[in-house]
């Protein structure tokens, strides 16, 4: 479980709007004005904001800071004409906890967080808690970590929407970001992967915000200690069987000892990669307007072939990223090599069981089914 929800390894679909300053000057506390802007310009009715909360140090600290900002915001709101003694607006903070069912302590973690929310609410804090338990199991070839991450974000989204929240706050900090950059680099990721986690992203109709992404974990630890916050400790965070744990405890200390500027350099590299990824995404959208058509979209092979090889790859990643969670690079390479001479009926498997099928000059998707025999190169007059 850990101090925060595990950072996503796959880049999130993202637009990076400019966010107002989220911290009060010189403090880790959240700026109420920032919270007001996140909640929207119209502040004439009760509002809700969600905080993903594992029960670990970082997420409990963010929950506490968000509740404090919500209280200040409500106190600063103008009084209602119908009830001059009461604020016209209020903010409820929803602590969203995902029970993964993977650890023996998971029930106690969920119960502890709900008890903490009830304790804070009893003293007048605008907070409530919800728990969602994951069910099912990983798909064939999917790791436990990937399954848990996918299920966690889906559960957080469902709970946030059910609570009427338009934004979810995540407690990832600078070290989480650095770990993600290194993991993506070791996976041969391109700019989108090396951009790691955005501080502000739109996905599934929600805004996902990481207000502490540039913060050092020691500052969050100090905040938690100052406020005597009760936190849980996830043993998996120090389990060397997990890749991120090995990176955190064996690699990063040695890297930072040898290169003291590594943290700031990697954070800066992630920001530059994010800019490059956004530019490539804009280019892909321009090419998609010329080469994709229909619903669901199909690829016009002739229009695709008119692009340079580099832009063909960019468009394939853009399009296939809308069809499957993580299009493998092996598939991109096969399509780059085989699609120019594809025959009608030729197929390529997609993760999850679906297929890409070439038909009469177009490449589209088909429902799961037995693969057709691999087509042999055909004379030019018979090619798709």
The reply to whether 236 and 353 lie within a common domain is no
The reply to whether 178 and 251 lie within a common domain is yes
The reply to whether 292 and 199 lie within a common domain is no
- At 27, is the pLDDT very low, low, confident or very high (cuts 50, 70, 90)? low
Q: How many CA atoms does the CB half-sphere of 50 hold within 13 Å?
A: 26
Angle made by CA atoms 144, 273, 37, in degrees to the nearest 5: 85
Q: Is 18 domain-assigned?
A: no
Q: Is 270 domain-assigned?
A: no
What are the tens digits of pLDDT across the range 284-329?
999 999 999 998 899 999 999 999 999 999 999 999 988 887 788 9
The least confident of 5-9, 93-97, 187-191, 192-196 is 5-9
Beta strand pairing status for 91-99 and 127-133? parallel
Tokens found for residue 55: 């029960």
Q: What is the CATH number of the domain that holds 169?
A: 3.40.50.620
pLDDT of residue 338: 96
Tally of domains in the chain: 2
**Rounded percentage of the chain residues whose pLDDT exceeds 90:** 60
- At 227, is the pLDDT very low, low, confident or very high (cuts 50, 70, 90)? very high
Q: Is 360 domain-assigned?
A: yes
The reply to whether 64 and 152 lie within a common domain is yes
What are the tens digits of pLDDT across the range 11-22?
444 444 444 455
Q: Is 359 domain-assigned?
A: yes
Q: Taking Cα atoms as reference points, which of 106, 114, 115 lies closest to residue 133?
A: 106
The reply to whether 123 and 178 lie within a common domain is yes
pLDDT of residue 17: 41
pLDDT of residue 84: 44
Beta strand pairing status for 298-300 and 362-366? antiparallel
pLDDT of residue 62: 96
Q: Is 85 domain-assigned?
A: yes
Domain boundary among 258, 291, 315: 258
> What's the mean pLDDT when you consider all of the chain?
84
Size of the chain, expressed as the number of residues it contains: 384
Domain boundary among 258, 291, 306: 258
**Rounded percentage of the chain residues whose pLDDT exceeds 70:** 83
Class of residue 94 by CB neighbours under 10 A (exposed 0-12, middle 13-18, buried 19+)? buried
The reply to whether 251 and 325 lie within a common domain is no
**Alpha carbons 293 and 279: distance in angstroms, whole number:** 22
Q: Is 1 domain-assigned?
A: no
The reply to whether 240 and 288 lie within a common domain is no
The least confident of 124-128, 196-200, 376-380 is 376-380
Q: Is 334 domain-assigned?
A: yes
- Quick one: residue 360, left, alpha or beta (phi over 0 = left, psi -120 to 50 = alpha)? left
The reply to whether 151 and 211 lie within a common domain is yes
Q: Is 13 domain-assigned?
A: no
Token pair 């804090």: residue: 125
The reply to whether 154 and 190 lie within a common domain is yes
The reply to whether 253 and 373 lie within a common domain is no
Q: Outline where 166-261 has alpha helix (H).
A: 174-186, 191-194, 217-226, 243-246, 252-258
Q: Which position has the higher pLDDT, 133 or 238? A: 133
Residues contacting residue 129 through CB under 8 Å, at least 6 positions apart: 53, 94, 95, 96, 97, 113, 114, 116, 117, 118
Rounded to 5 degrees, φ, ψ at 374 are -60, 125
Token pair 């995404």: residue: 281
The reply to whether 310 and 351 lie within a common domain is yes
Neighbours of 181 (CB within 10 A): 22
Q: For residue 287, give its domain range.
A: 283-382
Neighbours of 35 (CB within 10 A): 25
Does 111 have pLDDT greater than 80? yes
Q: What is the CATH number of the domain that holds 296?
A: 1.20.59
Beta strand pairing status for 167-169 and 206-209? parallel
Cα torsion angle, 151, 152, 154, 155, sign: positive
Domain boundary among 258, 291, 322: 258
What is the torsion angle, in degrees rounded to the nearest 10, for the CA atoms of residue 262, residue 263, residue 269 and residue 273? 140
Tokens found for residue 325: 């969670």
Q: Taking Cα atoms as reference points, which of 34, 38, 61 lies closest to residue 48?
A: 38
pLDDT of residue 240: 83
The reply to whether 292 and 218 lie within a common domain is no
């Amino acid at each position: 479980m850990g101090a925060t929800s595990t950072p996503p390894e796959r880049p999130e679909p993202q637009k990076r709007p400019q966010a107002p300053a989220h911290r009060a000057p010189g403090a880790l506390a959240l700026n109420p004005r920032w919270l007001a802007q996140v909640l929207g310009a119209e502040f004439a009715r009760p509002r809700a904001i969600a905080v993903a909360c594992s029960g670990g140090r970082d997420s409990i600290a963010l929950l506490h800071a968000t509740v404090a900002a919500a209280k200040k915001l409500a106190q600063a709101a103008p009084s209602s004409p119908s009830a001059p003694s009461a604020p016209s607006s209020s903010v409820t903070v929803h602590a969203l906890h995902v029970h993964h069912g993977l650890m023996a302590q998971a029930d106690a973690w969920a119960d502890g967080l709900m008890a903490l929310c009830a304790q804070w609410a009893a003293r007048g804090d605008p907070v409530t808690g919800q728990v969602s338990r994951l069910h099912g199991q990983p798909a064939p070839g999917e790791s436990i970590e990937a399954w848990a991450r996918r299920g966690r974000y889906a559960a957080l989204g469902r709970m946030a929407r059910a609570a009427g929240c338009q934004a979810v706050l995540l407690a990832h900090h600078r070290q989480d970001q650095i770990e993600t950059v290194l993991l993506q680099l070791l996976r041969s990721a391109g700019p989108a992967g090396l951009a790691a986690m955005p501080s502000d992203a739109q996905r599934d109709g929600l805004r996902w915000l990481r207000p502490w992404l540039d913060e050092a974990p020691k500052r969050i630890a100090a905040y938690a200690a100052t406020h005597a916050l009760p936190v849980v400790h996830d043993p998996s965070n120090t389990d060397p069987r997990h890749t991120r744990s090995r990176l955190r405890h064996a690699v990063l200390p040695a890297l930072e000892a040898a290169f003291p500027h590594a943290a700031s350099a990697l954070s800066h590299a992630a920001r530059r990669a994010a800019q490059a990824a956004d530019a490539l995404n804009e280019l892909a959208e321009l090419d998609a307007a010329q080469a994709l058509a229909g619903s669901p979209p199909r690829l016009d092979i002739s229009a695709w072939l008119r692009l340079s090889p580099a832009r063909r790859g960019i468009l394939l990643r853009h399009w296939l990223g809308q069809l499957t969670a993580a299009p493998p690079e092996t598939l991109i390479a096969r399509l780059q090599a085989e699609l120019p001479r594809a025959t009608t009926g030729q197929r390529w498997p997609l993760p999850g069981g679906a297929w890409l099928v070439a038909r009469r000059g177009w490449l589209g998707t088909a429902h799961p089914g037995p693969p057709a025999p691999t087509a042999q190169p055909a004379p030019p007059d018979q090619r798709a």
